[in-house]
Structure 1
Amino acid sequence: MNRSTLRSTLPARARTSRALAVAATAGGALLLAAVPAAAHVHATPDTTAADGYSVVTFRVPNESDTAATTSVRVSLPTEHPFSYVAVRPVAGWSAVVTEGALPAPVEVGGTTLTKAPLSVTWTADPGSAGIAVGQFEEFEANVGPLPGAGTRVVLPTVQTYADGEVADWSEVAAEGAGEPDKPAPEFTTTAAGEDHHGGSHAEAAATPATTPAASTTAAPGADPVARGLAGAGLALGLAALVVVLLRRRRA
């Protein structure tokens, strides 16, 4: 390669290397930004149809570096209470549905309720590992009937660790505001015709399984958007690194 060719080639290579380095840095930043967004308790209903019954799955990741999660308590709405709550058994955990008086009588399905289920508490059995460091667990509750379409169902959750630390997932984001540091799990109901998965009361009563759900041992999972962003960031960073190494080798 003559000197003129070398002079014209080096700046292009330098520009390419700088661009790839920027891409790799951006990819890494995207990966780091995507993970924390999913590192909190999520509530995912299998249906949001108003007046129907839904199985809500609570995904609880362990965010402690040293202690296991031993208790999870979910507070249920009182302004739009559920008249029916049942839980799916989870191996190594016991569950208690606590009922109590409502702040004010509420009409649900033509019936005036003065008391209703107020909370569900899952507690790790003695000798159980609970939710160990680097793991998550899923708990399911069959609830209903759901309130009218457009209702925001907020489910504040308290997560307790073996060392006494408590994570209070109860902050509610204002309309148009970003996600708070400790967001409460929530979902919004839809019109019955918009969701064809809603079940009747009879179906809801038959939903709770008698077979304990298997404990999960994988690392905490992100929601689909976070997984996609994380995967894209990682792939971009790796691709940039490979290209830089190949170019250096050829030079």
Structure 2
Amino acid sequence: MNLSRLPLAAAVAAGTVLLAAVPAFAHVTVQPGEAEKGGYSTIAFKVPNERDTASTVKLEVNLPTDHPLASVMPQPVPGWDVKVTKSKLDKPLEMHGEKIDEAVTKVTWTGGTIEPGTFQQFPLSVGPLPQDADQLVFKALQTYDNDEVVRWIEEPKEGGEEPESPAPVLALTEAGEGSHGHSHGGADDASGREHDASDRSGKTGDSEQVAADGSDTTARVLGVVGIVIGVAGVTFGVLAGRRRSA
């Protein structure tokens, strides 16, 4: 075996691994990757540009029809136009006591540009998230200005290899105690934390006051003891002087 070729072989192997790993970081994904069941959440579709000579000019996100979302609101993205498409539901949803017979099934962003080597995020406020599902799959289509369309529509299989063009997946977790059906702390939680902080602050202040009072008392006692010792010393000195004179 020619040992001089080992560094070259290692370099080639490392380069192959690196090239194979690059696509894994270039998928269209949903951020954050999880949200609580039954609540509302703000999610964003992160779209990187995978091409060196073309720019992304369109994104279509298809929302799941097996678990339709009653509320879908896009956040404006500077430089991009957004279109929300609604469809009739086979089974109406109930929200705040009202029947909803249509829901958003697709959101499309156009008019902007994602240049090579950059990415863009497209936020949505969605909810209420289903309580009878462990994930939501959002199939996305990414269009480039050279008319190429990348279809991020393959559903990942549990325990299987990652697809070549996986669809963005939002994992759904059980709602935490006291979360009030939201993916983040509500106003009640915040006021509770402020109340606890206030209580702790008050208790800390009382402790500091007690410590200060104790320190002040100790200082007074030490002062009195010092005066007594000083007087005793002076008296002893006077008496000693008289004995020597006698």
TM-score when normalising by structure 1:
0.63
Superposed CA deviations along residues 93-121 of structure 1, whole A, max 9, x for unmatched, are 01122111124334567655321111111
Given the alignment of the two structures, is residue 198 of structure 1 paired with residue 183 of structure 2, yes or no? Answer: yes
Candidates 165, 169, 176, aligned match of 1:186: 169
- Write the distance in 1 (CA, Å) between the matches of 2:50 and 2:177: 36
TM-superposed CA distance for 1:136, in Å, is: 1.3
* CA separation of 1:20 and 1:67: change in aligned 2, threshold 3 A: closer
Q: Larger C-alpha radius of gyration, 1 or 2?
A: 2
Name the SS of the counterpart of 2:52 in structure 1.
Answer: coil
Given the alignment of the two structures, is residue 67 of structure 1 paired with residue 67 of structure 2, yes or no? Answer: no
CA contact under 8 A between 2:33 and 2:171: conserved in structure 1? Answer: no
- Write the distance in 2 (CA, Å) between the matches of 1:109 and 1:200: 21
* CA separation of 1:94 and 1:194: change in aligned 2, threshold 3 A: farther
Q: Which amino acid aligns with 2:85?
A: T
- Write the distance in 1 (CA, Å) between the matches of 2:171 and 2:34: 10
CA contact under 8 A between 1:150 and 1:190: conserved in structure 2? Answer: no
Match of 2:91 in 1: 104
Q: Which has the higher contact order (CA 8 A, sep 6+)?
A: 1
Q: Which amino acid aligns with 1:84?
A: S
Match of 2:155 in 1: 172
Superposed CA deviations along residues 121-171 of structure 1, whole A, max 9, x for unmatched, are 1112xxx5x011222111111111111165220000011111211111111
Kindly tell me the number of residue pairs found equivalent between the two proteins.
186
TM-superposed CA distance for 1:40, in Å, is: 1.3
Name the SS of the counterpart of 1:160 in structure 2.
Answer: strand
Q: Which amino acid aligns with 1:198?
A: S
CA contact under 8 A between 1:49 and 1:149: conserved in structure 2? Answer: no
Candidates 123, 145, 154, aligned match of 2:137: 154
TM-superposed CA distance for 1:64, in Å, is: 2.5
* CA separation of 1:138 and 1:183: change in aligned 2, threshold 3 A: same
Candidates 46, 58, 73, aligned match of 1:86: 73
Given the alignment of the two structures, is residue 135 of structure 1 paired with residue 132 of structure 2, yes or no? Answer: no
Q: Which amino acid aligns with 1:192?
A: A
CA contact under 8 A between 1:74 and 1:120: conserved in structure 2? Answer: yes
Q: Which amino acid aligns with 1:68?
A: S
Superposed CA deviations along residues 154-199 of structure 1, whole A, max 9, x for unmatched, are 0000111112111111111223211111110002100001795615
Match of 2:205 in 1: none
Q: Which of the pair is proportionally richer in helix?
A: 2
CA contact under 8 A between 1:47 and 1:195: conserved in structure 2? Answer: no
- Write the distance in 1 (CA, Å) between the matches of 2:68 and 2:137: 11
CA contact under 8 A between 1:47 and 1:55: conserved in structure 2? Answer: no
CA RMSD, 1 decimal:
3.2
CA contact under 8 A between 1:149 and 1:189: conserved in structure 2? Answer: no
Question: Percent of aligned positions with the same letter in both sequences?
Answer: 44
Match of 1:51 in 2: 38
Q: 5+ residue gaps in structure 2?
A: 188-246
Q: Which amino acid aligns with 1:137?
A: Q
